[in-house]
Amino acid sequence: MTSLDALEDFARRDWAEYNGDGTVRVALVGAGWFTREWALPGFQRADHTDPTVVVDTRPERAERLADEHGLMPLTPEQFHDGAARDEYDAVYVCTPNATHLPYVERAAGFGKDILCEKPMEASLDRASELVEIAADAGVTLLIGYRMHTDPVLRRAKELIEAGTIGDVVQVHANMSQRMLAELDGDPADQWRLDPDLAGGGAMMDIGIYPLNTTRFVLGADPVQVSASTTAVHEEFDAVEEQVAVRATYEGGVPVLFTASHDAYHDSFLRVTGTEGVIVLDPAFFEREDRDMAIRIDGERIDVDVTNVHQLEEEFAYFADCLLSGREPYPDGEHGLVDMRAIEAIYESAETDETVRIENAVV
């Protein structure tokens, strides 16, 4: 008899511990579309968080957002000089990948806790430095893997751990989008096409979702990868347009995933076991509801999921950890595993060889 008890009280916040009335005031670093459309509403909705400051390289953009939402606008120079540092308790960094480190370094120097978007930085070396800086300063560092607090993923993980689909045999995933069309950006003004700012293309931006979400649901890390990258359209002359990865995770589980910056908008995660299958489709995009289906005993069960605002859940979790005095997960060390895997993926694509991941556990 297969137990589906994990599906009861679907949206339960099994991570919640704090019962007080405290508030974490947050400075938003970066006022791009993701902050405006998702992060700021997430902080406004989340329990125990209050956005108070916004920092952006375009003063007019910060000022407009500040006027609309009652925030204090700062330029990067003002932020680094310590202006308004008494107006916030924590910093949310949502800027181009290669600019995370200086903001994290300054925030840590001010003794502020940090929620840094993923990927952590544009290279493994810079990501390692970022983690070390936060640790040396004694501040909390949470990496923004919003999937971890989505109840759809948490329930899927519980079902897998309970043996609902037997032993996991393989994982297959995809995330693709028409990036330039969906983000409504001029290619000349799109930082994701600049390797110095992004660190790479589709793998860095959206390939990290199947890579990391698989780690989360399996409770296992990749130990080796074989990968290929391609670029078809002229806009992608400096970074990869698409990536295909065959990885082996701890326990010998094969994982296949793809990501593309110029393909039909799609995302799914399929975990196949000896006794059944769990499918999340759609799976990864914050701007669409997730769906879950389970196939066991020859039957398909379409789960009545509870969809949430992913950023609200993530930010409420961040505040819950800070106010209850515990360390959050995924932390910087967790993020470094992804950075090592991404470095190995690019090495494999360049050399056409299978690459073992540094510090991977067999």
* Residue type, position 319, single letter: A
Task: Quick: pLDDT tens for 102-129.
Answer: 999 999 999 999 999 999 999 999 999 9
HSE-CB of 283 using CA atoms within 13 angstroms: 30
pLDDT at residue 308, rounded to an integer: 97
pLDDT at residue 204, rounded to an integer: 98
**Does residue 55 contact residue 95 with C-beta atoms inside 8 Å?**
no
Compute how many other C-beta atoms are within 10 angstroms of the C-beta atom of residue 306: 15
Q: Which residue ranges form the domains of the chain, and what is each CATH number?
A: 5-145 (3.40.50.720), 151-306+332-356 (3.30.360.10)
Task: Quick: pLDDT tens for 250-291.
Answer: 999 999 999 999 999 999 999 999 999 999 999 999 999 999
Our measurement of the distance from residue 281's CA atom to the centroid of its chain's CA atoms, rounded to an integer in Å, reads 18
Site of tokens 């890390």: 221
pLDDT at residue 216, rounded to an integer: 98
Question: In this model, does residue 361 exceed pLDDT 60?
Answer: no
Task: Quick: pLDDT tens for 201-230.
Answer: 999 999 999 999 999 999 999 999 999 999
